[in-house]
Structure formats: C-alpha cells, structure tokens
Structure 1
C-alpha cells in the first residue's frame, strides 16, 4: 500500500522560542487538569471520572434494586467507553464512592471488601461487585428526557452527558477535593436535610444573605461524625468567602469500670483520619512518655469505632488528658475549606455558600425547562397519533375497505381523511385487537388527559413562579427520601464550644520522685531510683566508666551540652530505668556522632551559664534561653572545626579565671564578658599557640581555689599578679597548680 503524499510546502522543522513552546503546552495541560480532572462542577458536584462511572453503571442497568456486577466489568466499561485512563484510578474512584466512612451519601452500593476506616485498601476489582444507590439514581433522574447536553466521548463512537441532572445539591452533600494546576479545592460534606432547607429558603427569598442560609446549614456533617469546635463567627466568615477551616474533634465519653476506676472511650474519630495510624501515634506518645498521665490505649473496634484510653491513675482529670491528646494527636484535626468549583462547567471560581446553592438551583430550573419541553414534544407526537386513531374509529368501515382494496392505502387515507403521514402510518400499524369499542373510549380518555397535561406544561413554561414551586416540590420529595427521617439521614457531626485547657506542663503530670542520673563516658544514660550516696558502686559496660552523676527528681529537666555548641533538653522522666546499663544518649537527642558531650547539668530557672570554646572565646548566657523544644537542640555557642565547645559552667561570683594550654592564668572581672543568647562570644584570653584549657567564675574576695594532686584544697588569696583585662595573655600558674591545667 502506497504511503500518502505530503504537501510540498510542509516545513521539515518548525522553530519557535522555547518559552512560547513550553508555555502554550503547559497552559493546555493546566486547562485540561482544571476543567476535566481536578475541579468538580457546581451543578452536580461531580468530577468527570465520577460522572462517567455513574453513567456507565446506568448503561449497564445496575439500578439500586437490581443485581450486582463485577467491579472489573464496570471499570472496564468506563475505561473503554468514556474515560481513557488507568483502570486502577477508575476503580479507586469508584471504591471511594462506596465507602460510607468517606462519602456522606454513598453513590455506589458495594458488595465485598471496599476498604475500611483503618486505611486498608479495597480488594482487587475482580473480587468485588457493585451497583448504584438510590442517591445515584436521583442524580441521574431525567437523563433520558433531554435534561442535559450530551457530547461525543473521547473517540467519537458514543456520547456522554456533560453534566448530570442532579436532584439534590451533591457538591455540598458529599463534598469534594482535588489539586489542579495553580489551584485546588476542598469542600466538606454537609447534611442533605439542611441543604434542602437552605435551597427552599433561597427559592422563597432570592436575595437572602449568607447568614440567613446558615440558620438552615449548621455546618459540615462528616460521615465519621465527630464534634466541630469552631466558633460560629469563624464558620460564618468561611461560608461567606468560600475559604476557611473547621476544627474537628473526636467524640468521647467516660466509662466507669467500678471501684472508682474509669476509662475514656472514643466512639467517633475525625474525618479522613486513619484509625490504625491514630492508634500508632497514641502508642508512640505513651512510649515516649509525652503524656505521662496516659497509661494505655486499646482498639476494641468492631463495626463501630471504640478506642479505649486508660489513665495512669483514677485521680487524672479526663478533660486535661483529652486536651493534651487533642494537641498532640489527630484526635483533633483542622479541615480546610476551599470552595473552588467550575461554574457552568467552564469557569473556576471560589464561591460562597449562596453562590454554590444558586448555581445548583439555576441548573435545576434549566433541567425542569428542558424536561418539560421534551415532555411537551412527546405529548404533541402522541396527540397527533391519537387524533388519527379517533378518525379511524369514526370511519372504521371505510378505513378497512381502503386497506383491503387499495394497493397503496397510505396516500388514499391521507387524502380522504386529511391525515398526516405519521397518523396514516399509525393506523396501518394498528393491531386488530385495538378495534374494540373499549379501546376507542380509552383513546379519548388518554387524549383528554394529555391535553390537560399539555396545558399544565405550557403554563409551567410561561410562569417563573410555577417553575420554582415545582422545583421546591421536587426538593421536598428528595428531602423525604434522604433527609433526617430516612435511614442514615440524621446529622452525625455535633457542635460544641472549644473549652481550651491551659497547657499543662509535663512536670505537672509526673509523680515527683527522687532519682540519680548516671551518664557514662561513652554516653550511656540511666536514672537510678532514689538519691545514691557519693561513691556508691555503679556498673558499666566493659571498657566504659562513669562521668556524670547527678541527684535529681523525675520532674526535672537535664541540659546536655554538645561539643558542636548545641544545647539539648531532656526530661528526667524520659530516662530509662537503672536496672540495666541505660540507653545511648544519642538515641534520645539528635547529637551527631562526631560531637562529644561537654557537660550534663540539672536545669535551674534563672541561673546563668559561662560557655567557652577551645579557641578561648566565651560569653555568659541565661540558662532559661538555652532550653530546646525539639530533639535537634538549640545552637548557643557558634563554633567552626577544628574549634569545639569546651566548657559550660554555672556562674557564681564576680571574676573569671582562665588557664590556657600554655599554663598561663588570667583573672578579669566577670562584667567584661557580655551576656548573650547565642553567638561566638568574645576573646577571654590571648594565646600565642594552643588554646583554652579551663575557666571558672569565683568571688575575688574568697580567692582562687583548686585541688592539688594529694586531694587538698589550695587557695591563692593574693591574685594581683594574675589580674588583668579580658583578652590578656596572663602569667604562669601559681605554684602547686594541677598539671592537667584544670581548676577541678
């Protein structure tokens, strides 16, 4: 077969600027994503994939009262006929429409494993079956009566609806979420009974304000229930602007266990929170001792949600416990609302509650008018046929004679009785059984009924008031079918005022007990019960030995100073017990492997600390400013390798004594050191070579003391020889100063 010839003037290469080439193609992609994938239509609240799934199920005649079909068959039909994308994506979208914990009014009735609130995935499409629900049928009602426009499918072999008739405001009833290019949408589900009430109010008062609509729509109604604790003012503003957020909490209650014991039972969890991950998070909080008053968490859920929280003791305040858990876990979430929808299927816009309901009502009016005109055309066609039948009955003998005698009876009938071609064809196709006298009476009665219906339709098409009255009547029927009186129609999400508990410090939740903190040279830390006597025997791993031993209490906080200049905070209650050798300190804070531990201090509020680097730079820092809130710690002393943080000591006295690696000692007033929150510091002592060995603060009047090699305390009272200005070189250390160049 010969290849088709190409035009001679077709260029081999097309050259255009890269910016224009990429820009035009990206814009095409962006528009496709916005209009045909990510944003829902304000009229039926559906994205194209959901609309195509429901239409394909209708074509398969999967009614709510009929049989089920394999999900693989449904997703295959959707993919082959209307939605040329992956079958996994189509099945996922269909499965979500069947999940009663994800969709407030499910549109698919699933049979088999369609996933659960724990976050487990649905079974494969070949194992599950599905059909439409009554709510889905309400969205499709009128589709065969020219209620909406149809367009060609992707390959032009079939047609699909541009939008569904939508008997109820599905956009708000079931909500929607999606991420497009440069914009996104996130709409919470609402209660259908309340939405219909707001629609009826808007029909009666077209100029109604958003505030009056909120007398009907109280707020979101999530399928998993929960309690909304957002303020009414904030919710009003969210619905007025189309953007905002709602604080949603789990529903809980206290369950008595007898003998004064009690537990907290969570019966409803926030929307889109996976129960299994929530319980994992609660278990982590217990293990990390972040909520010391919580002892245990158990999942006793069956078909319903039942999470049992066991307090540490009966004296725990339940409100304090739940307030802490609301802050630290997904028992409280913030659901963001962004009502970004396609108006008339074309224009993306962030709409208010009133604008969304107005778009739905205008769509319902257009559907009503189109269905009425369609019905009017059907009535006119039927009346034409009935008039012909009646003529035939009035002239029955002559009609039979013509049919028996004429070779071409149709033109003769049309000429003799002034019939149209449609009427003549209908008479010729009439069955002999229809020639009964009773049938003639039925035809006249049908004609009269159709004439009455036709007159009603003409009145409806001519009168706006009648149209809105009919729409209101249809909405009341929907409310009766799916409202609060129907199964599952009652509001599930409650409202409450957020009683904000003052943040209780962890110390207040911990039983105060004496402990001895032991940290070895290799960085293994533990907490021994009680205050051990000085010199008490302690066990360490082979090759390891003790370094820090502190008397503390379980409510205290420890400050760990790393040689990288970062300060880490560690609650004493989080330390491992003293039965074993403890745990590496590096597992509790993010201390790098190449950084050593410089100091381990017991935090004392209001105290000041002297910090210095090996290069001899230092400053004074308030201890309250070095506390870190995270595992990563807080950078206080800025150092750059090979310089490292050398010391951190509490400040007491009025002078500073420094000793360098060259054994020169310098004493200068403490007032010459600045007080800072973070920095490199200032030069404390000047060295020709080497660096700083140690520094200490003391009262000049008491003299400078140190311990000699024999363990005796030596005091140098006259320090005139070593007194000087900060950043001086100093003089050689006094006689008897330790050879390790440390003050002890």
Structure 2
C-alpha cells in the first residue's frame, strides 16, 4: 500500500478462495482425525508401539539408559523425550513411562522402574522427580540393530534431529504386550499374549504360510494377561482371532478353603486384567452391607509384594455355592472387548491373528534383509582393507623405504595409490624383486599409513590372514541370506527361538472349557467322590479323602445308614465333573452328572435316586462308567447274571434320554451285572459267585446293537451266577482282586489266567466255602491302588491294595475286612494310586 493511500480505502486480498464451510470443516476434521490416529492413538503393527512409546524408548537409547546402566531420574528421561522427540505435555510422557514399567499392565514390561510406579489398587505413581528408570532387557530386543540401517528415520518435530519411524522389533511386541487407545471414531484394544506361544505360532506360519487361524490356535491358546485369572469359553477367542473382534469373559482365580473356625472362606488370588483391586473389595463390602450378598462374616485384603490375596470368610452354615455365585455375577467376572486395530502402512486396519503375524513377518524380513546388506557392505569394506594389509606385509621393505623417502604424507599416499611413480623418488630399492609400482585404493593407502611398524611382523600377518578368512566366510553367509528367501526365514526363526529361550515363560492365564453364563457346574470344585447306592435306590456322594486308608482286616467306619430292610448295593468312585452312564439291573442306561448327586455326611441315608433318575419299580443301579473314558472306536462291554456278554459301540450311547435308553435286552430272571469300556483288542475275565473265572478274547464277542441280548460268555454250574468282569490284555501287569461276601480276598496276577475259548466252564479262582462265602465282586488292581469296600449295613473301609497278599488261583485268601454277624461285603471300588 502506497503512503498516499487513504486508510479507509479497502484493498482486496491478492488471492481469495471461496469454499463451502461444511466442506472446510469436514476436511479439517478428517485431517485432525488422521493426525490423532496415526500420530497418537494407534500402534504400528510392525513394532506394536505408539509414537510416544517409541520415542521414550529411543530417547533412553540415545541417553544410554540401557539395562546395563544405572537408573536415571524419570524427570530426566521425560525431559529428554519432550525436548527432542515428543512435543506434548510431560504428563502424557510420564504416564507412558510408568505404564511400561508396571508388571500388572504389560505382560513383558519394557521399562525397569525403581520407586513407586502405582499399584493394582489404582494408587498413582510418585512424581517423576522421585522415581528412576532404565530400559528393561526385553526392550533392547526392540531396538537391536537400529544402527544398521534396518529401518527408516524421519525428522523430529523441529527438523533438528532424526528419529526412527519404526523399531526393528526382534520380537512381535504388538501381540506380546497388546495395546489400547481411543482415536477419533475408532479405538483399539489388543490383549497381551505369551511369548512362547506367539513365537511357536510365528514359526508355524513361516513353515506353513497357507495355514488357517485354527492352526495358529494350536499354538496360541488365547490371551495371556499379566494378572493371570481365567478366560471362560473358547468361542470368543476364536472370534477375536478370526475376525479381529471379540468379547472375552474373564474370571478371577479363587479357592474355597476352611477357616480356623471350621467355616468356609473364599480366597481370591488372581484378578481379571485391569481390575482395580481396592475398588472391587469396596464394592463387595457395599453389597455385603446392603444385603445383596449374604453369609459373609469378614472381608479383608491380605495382598502383598508376593501377589494378590483377598479373603472372604463366610458365616457358619452359609451356603458357599450361593455366595460364590453372587460374587461371580457381580464382582469376579468382567469382559475384555478385543478390537485388533493397528496401523498398516499408516492406515488403520482391523486384523485377524494371521494377518497380524504376516505383517510382523514382512517387517522382520525387511529388517533382516537391510541388516544383511549393511553387514555385507561393512564386511566387504573390511575385506578390502585386509587385502591391502596383506599386500603391505608382503612388500613391507619397499613400502617402508618409499614412505620414509616421501616428502610428506600426501606424497606417500599418492605413491601407494599409484598416482606418483616411485622411480621419481631418490630411493634405492634393496630388493629389486619386490613390487615397487603400487596400486592401493585410497582407503587401503590411508590405512597402511596409519599402521604401526609392529603390524608388519610375520605373526601379525598370520592374524590378518585368519581374520580375512573369517570375513570371507561372513560375506558368503550374508550373500546366501540375501539370495535365498528360505535362508532369510531361517535366520528369523533362529532369532525368534533365541528370544523365546531368553524371555519365554509359562502361561499366567488359564482357559476354561465351559461357555455361556455361570452355571451351577462352575461353582462345583473338581474332586473325587465315592457314590453310594442302596437297593432301595437311595444315593449320595462323599469326598474320597474323607476316608483314610486303614490296615487290612479292619471293621472300617460308618459310610451310610440305610433304613431298616434296605442295604448298600453299590459304591463307586467318580469325579464331581464326570458325566456318568448309569446302567441298571434291567438293562437300561441313564446319564447323570456326578455333582447332581447330593453330597452328604457319612451317617446320612442319602436321597432317593428317583429324584435324579426315572427308575421303574424293582430297577436298581448296578454299574457305572465315566463317559470321559470313551474313545471313538471303543465299546461298552456288558455281562449279565446268567453269563451273557455283549459289546456295543459307544456311539450308540451318545444321545441318552432323560428317561433312559435300552442298553441290553434281558431274558426273564436275568440281570445286568457289570460293564467295562473296551477297545476290542484285549481279553475279558468273567468271574462267578462260586469262585470260577474264565478268560477269553474280547473279539470272540461281536459288536451288537443296543437291543441285542448278547452271547454266552461262560458255562455256569447249577446255582452259580456271574459276580463281575474285568478287561485286560497281555501287557497288563495288574492283578485280579477277588473279594467275598464274608470279607476275604486275594490278589492273583492276571497273567496267571490263561486264555480259553468263550463259553467254557473256566478255572477255579477262589474257594467259596463256609468261611469265605460267595464272591461279591472282582476288580483289576495295581499295587499302588487303594480299594474301598462297603458292607450291606453301610460300614466302609479304605485299604491299600499292597496289604492284600498276592496268591495263586484256587486259594482261600486273607481277611480284607472284618464283618459283623449278619453283615457282609456288598461292593468294592478302586481308587487309583496317583489319586
């Protein structure tokens, strides 16, 4: 504007662009959103870091605050990061530094902190001027080879320095430590994982690039949170890995114990990820005070440096299952929403498990390839220098003469490079046969001029030749890496295995098989139980460990109190979470979950089985097998009181109605006695009440349908009936335990029962005279097992098998259990030795 222009005259702008305000707002908002997405909130799929994490680690790297150095004040690290690389507030940088040091936030912490870095109770960390930190060892794996041109660098915010756009990342950090962040219009929430599992999956992907997510899940079982706990159900895990999104149900780890007053207590030892422990305890206390949770007498937090321990004591008589269910509903479970969103080529993308590993592998291939090129260039440069040194040693005398006669260093270098004819120098060569015309390169000449005179000795020459040979080997190796994709991937696999060996550990988070909401089954602890059944179909269960082993010949203790006219007919061992196939004397089979059987005291009568199983009049349970024992090609093998044997494939028992299904058709007067799960390759041993046994090949009994009657297994004598059956094979080292009604018994090695043809009379097993009485049952036992014997009147005794002597066939046996007048042993079950 000229000086004579009036001030009130409007001058048009040189360039005015007219735009719609909504278009300008839209574009500006998109630019802002992408800035937040790429520059702050989302991690890079390659190294799993956001810019602030990457800059903090790089600043520590530049400061030399590594795992081998001393700790430095966090204020110094934050200041260095903020001043050189991250132009944001110190609070954001310090919060990042703190989180990378918390072992309850990161599965593999990247910072080694010293001081107060917060707690699971939500306590804030101390001010940065009080805390100190250094890089954790595992973090150095992320920065390894950074100086070897493995990644691109970019200018920092003021173009004064260079910072890495991504770290080399020797380990797949995105999956190991996960990430969370809220961007504009999107968010990410990636759970942490176990290093060993991720490495195994990555190697599997290298070897099988066409594999599916299901194949990778054979290695990665699921997220592995630093706080432990449990993940309930596998479907959500598969959804998260197959689609990049899923909702995981997390559950605390707890145990039910007895307190000092004899009541129950619930002890919580692991919490769901990101759960605030102090807030959880406070909420539980509020619910107890408001009556939402009943039966709690005391609540206290006993956690210390060794781990979490929250103790909930219950009042005497309180139902622990009910309290447990209420805690699960409101406090001990939470949801982790997986959103596997990360930056791929600076663009946000929701990734499957396979895609995440593929992008990481692409990054590592580029890193290893660039590192190999860098190392190859350095190796070739070094080889070039060594070649010059070797030539210098060979012509040492001439070089020394020429250098000492040169006017200055520049002239000497020019002579060595061949730019000056040495004959122009006033030098008499003492060794005419030594080359005097040199053609060293500039680098070789400079190196020779810097060499000390002692470097020209013959010993030094040998060391140079050895180093030159090593360099040549390295060059050949690096050239093979660059020339072969297979060799390149082999290097990546070897490095992953090294990392796993150095930092790998066991899983902290368990994965529970059950799915859906909390069921009653979730509340039942897994334990071995003894299930007692009477002839009038009263049933109950008791913990096996409630009965201590006693010496052979004892009377035992009360295990049931049947009403007058009733007697114990069956006792068997089962885990509370087992599904049982319950066979009746009338050839029906029912399905039952062990925990559905009421747990009662030793002196209790039990509960009528008709409340659990729809039994007909006169029908009673005679045999039980666990469905967990079933294999695809196995059979249910049954034997009846009259000696009929039949085999039916287990697949025919998959869909058992609540009213039961037919397992075997029986003639009038016949009853089902015993059942075994067999595979068709072994033998069957059938024992009778009068002490006879027969052993025959199982395949002599063909497979039949459920409605079949079976074939004759043993030719019974008049008045004799089958007492039981066991399955065995040639490699079986167990013994056949025979117990009679009067409490006598013996062990005889199964190998002593020779194989015969089916439907023979068999051999004498035990004498059934007036002293012994008839055979009550037979079992296959090992020396380390225990047996639990029970009488008609409910006396029960647990006895180690090795106290029962091993005898031959056709013997009397020894006293196993002493019975009172009018009482007799009715049933025996085996408790395997490992339990």
TM over 0.5: yes
1:317 shift after superposition: 3.2
1:285 aligned onto 2:290: no
User: In the alignment, which residue of structure 2 is the partner of 1:402?
Assistant: 402
Alpha-carbon contact 1:79-1:90 (below 8 Å) kept:
yes
Query: 1:225 corresponds to which residue?
Result: 228
Separation in 1, partners of 2:338, 2:375:
40
Q: Identify the residue that residue 22 of structure 1 maps to in structure 2.
A: 25
* Corresponding position of 1:63: 66
User: What secondary structure sits across from 1:59 in the alignment?
Assistant: helix
Correspondence for 2:593: none
Residue of structure 2 in register with 1:393 after alignment: 393
1:318 Cα deviation (Å)? 2.5
Q: Report the CA distance between 1:63 and its aligned residue.
A: 1.6
Dislocated runs of 4+, deviation >6 Å: none
1:424 corresponds to 2:440: no
Partner deviation per Cα, 1:447-469 (whole Å, 9 max, x = no partner): 11111110111111111111111
Is 138-147 or 250-259 further displaced after alignment?
A: 250-259
Shift in Å at residue 315 of structure 1? 2.8
Is 1:146 aligned to 2:137, yes or no?
no
Instruction: Specify the alignment match of 1:512 in structure 2.
Output: none
CA contact (8 A) 1:365 1:468 kept: yes
Counterpart for residue 183 of structure 2: 180
SS at match of 2:220: coil
Question: For residues 613-692 of structure 1, what are the structure 2 equivalents within 5 Å?
Answer: none
TM-score (norm 1): 0.64
Q: How many residues align?
A: 488
| Secondary structure of the structure 2 residue equivalent to 1:441 | helix
Distance 1:171 1:502 in 2: 35
Map 1:579-618 onto structure 2 (within 5 A): none
Could you tell me which residue of structure 2 aligns to residue 343 of structure 1?
A: 344
Aligned position for 2:40 = 37
In structure 1, distance between residues paired with 2:299 and 2:503: 37
Cα distance change of structure 1 residues 364 and 9 upon mapping to structure 2, 3 Å threshold: farther
Q: Check if 1:308 corresponds to 2:311.
A: yes
The answer as to 2:117 corresponding to 1:114 is: yes
Residue 298 of structure 1 is matched in structure 2 by: 300
Q: Please state whether the residue corresponding to 1:51 is helix, strand or coil.
A: helix
Deviation at 1:283, TM superposition (A): 1.1
Q: What are the superposed Cα offsets for residues 9-64 of structure 1, whole Å, 9 maximum, x if unpaired? A: 96386543211222221111111111111110111100000001111111111121
Cα distance between partner residues in 2 of 1:326 and 1:287: 18
Distance 2:214 2:15 in 1: 63
- 5 Å-filtered alignment, 1:37-186, equals 37-186=40-189
State the distance in 2 between where 1:452 and 1:308 align.
63
Report the equivalent of 1:192: 195
Aligned Cα root-mean-square deviation (Å):
1.7
Say whether 1:453 aligns with 2:469.
no
| Structure 2 partner of 1:359 | 359
CA–CA distance in structure 2, aligned partners of residues 301 and 250 of structure 1: 15
SS of the counterpart of 1:417?
Answer: coil
Distance 1:439 1:26 in 2: 68
State which of 229, 246, 271 in structure 1 corresponds to 2:248: 246
TM-score (norm 2): 0.57
* Structure 1 range deviating more: 402-411 or 210-219: 402-411
Work out which of the residue numbers 203, 213, 217 in structure 2 matches 1:214: 217
- Whether the 8 Å contact between 1:286 and 1:296 is mirrored in structure 2 is no
CA positional deviation for 1:503: 9.2
In structure 2, the partner of 1:437 is 458
The C-alpha deviation readout for 1:430-463, integer Å capped at 9, x for no partner, is 1233223221111111111111110111111111
Superimposed CA distance per residue, residues 119-154 of structure 1 (whole angstroms, 9 cap, x where no aligned partner): 011111111110011110011111011111111111
Partner SS for 1:228: strand
The whole-number CA distance in structure 1 between the counterparts of 2:25 and 2:14 is 20
Residue pair 1:242, 1:339 contacting (<8 A) in 2 also: yes
- Deviations along 1:524-546, one digit per CA (max 9) or x if unpaired, are xxxxxxxxxxxxxxxxxxxxxxx
Unpaired segments ≥5 residues, structure 1: 1-7, 484-488, 505-744
The C-alpha deviation readout for 1:364-417, integer Å capped at 9, x for no partner, is 111110000000000111111111111111111111111111121111111131
Deviation of 1:292 after TM superposition, in Å, equals 1.9
Residue 296 of structure 1 and its aligned partner are, at CA, apart by 3.0
Q: How does 1:515-526 map to 2 (within 5 A)?
A: none
Distance 1:56 1:204, change over 3 A: same
Is 1:255 the counterpart of 2:257 in the alignment?
Answer: yes
* Structure 2 residue 506 is matched with structure 1 residue 490: yes
Contact 2:340–2:351 (CA under 8 A) maintained in structure 1: yes
